Structures are given as C-alpha cells and as structure tokens.
Structure 1
Amino acid sequence: MVYTTQELRRRIEPVARKYGLRAVYLFGSYARNEATEDSDVDLIVDTSGTALKSLLTLGALYCDLEEALEKRVDLITVSSLEQPAQMPHEENFRETVWKEKVNLYVAA
C-alpha cells in the first residue's frame, strides 16, 4: 500500500504524542510523491525537549512507528542533522533532506 500524506499524518500523530515529539517530517520517496508499494517511510523526528535521549527509547519509537505504518521506517533526528558533517557527502544529503521535508506533525 502507498499511503497519502494525510494517512501518514493520521497514523503518526498518536505515536508522536505518546513520545512527546516536537515535530515529525517526511522526506525521501514519499515526500517526492514517488513512493511505491515497496518504499520505506523516511522520517525526521524532533526530539528536543523530550525524554528521548537513549538508544533504547529511540528504538522503541522506531518500533512503534513501524507498527503504526505497517512499513519499514528510516528514522533520523533533527539533532543528528544539525551535527557538523564528518564526510563530504553528508552536506549534500542534509541539503536534500531539508529541501524535501514535508511537515507531518507539530506539537501544539
């Protein structure tokens, strides 16, 4: 199944609220309207100001998102995108991600 942006929002919102996320953004094939049945869902999550500091908690968030979407998920945090680039290709990747991003959830 290929989800609409509205369906992604509907499925992600309860998970975002559960973990107190500030925002969730979409990038990749879904953001470019190029998704296929086999596409994963690429997400950027803003965890600033939340208790999501450990890998275990991020792992739980990852599992809950995959369960809610019934699809594979690639997860990147805003803070990881804000770190200085370590490799030459990282800057191009970041620019692409920020250009493509589609807002799925912002905390009220």
Structure 2
Amino acid sequence: MTRKEITHFLQTHKKEMARRFGIQSIGLFGSYARDEAREDSDIDIVVMLNSEHLADDYFGVLHYLEDHLQHKIDLGLESNLRPEIRNRIKEEIIYV
C-alpha cells in the first residue's frame, strides 16, 4: 500500500465510519505518512471519536480498517496521544 492509496481509502470511507463509529476526524501518520514504510510496517492512524460507547467504537473502527485495508493497523485516539510525542505526531498527521 502507498500513502496515496491509504488516504484515498480513508477519504472515501470517512462518512461511513462517521455514521457507524462516531468519527469526527481521521488521519494517517507514521512511516506511511512520511513515505518511509517497509513491507512489515503497520499503518498508523489517529482518530477523534465523538461517542458515548468509546471502547465499542474504537474496536469497531480498528476492525473495519484492518478488514478493508488487509493490513495491521496501529490506531490511536487523538485525545490519548502521549504528551512527549504529541507535537511530533501532530506535525506529520495527514488528515482527510
């Protein structure tokens, strides 16, 4: 997969994921966002969820992405980014 393919997928499925899982925003970061991914790289995605069923929706999004992209996903909640890495990650996130 390429950065372009992943961001295209996220863009075209964003409305469905918003409806099903309460996604407010979604973006790609990490090695795929930097075009440095290797064959064994996971896909790093960050989301902001607006949900009272946060755990269910988090795992729903995770499984949805892994099923559709057929790749290991490292899914992070924007609100839970560790302070020591938050700024670096926010600089490289490609929001769709």
Q: Which band: TM-score by shorter chain?
A: 0.7 to 0.9
Q: Output aligned runs, 1:11-30, within 5 Å.
A: 11-12=9-10, 13-14=12-13, 15-17=16-18, 18-30=20-32
Structure 2, unpaired ranges of 5+? none
Q: TM-score, normalised by structure 2?
A: 0.79
After TM superposition, the score normalised by the length of structure 1 is 0.72
- Matches for 1:16-95 after TM superposition, within 5 Å: 16-17=17-18, 18-48=20-50, 50-53=51-54, 55-81=55-81, 90-95=82-87
- Give the match for residue 10 of structure 1: 8
Higher relative contact order (CA 8 A, sep 6+): 1
Secondary structure, in 3 states, of the residue corresponding to 2:23? coil
Higher-Rg structure is 1
Query: AA paired with 2:8?
Result: R
CA RMSD of aligned residues (A): 1.9
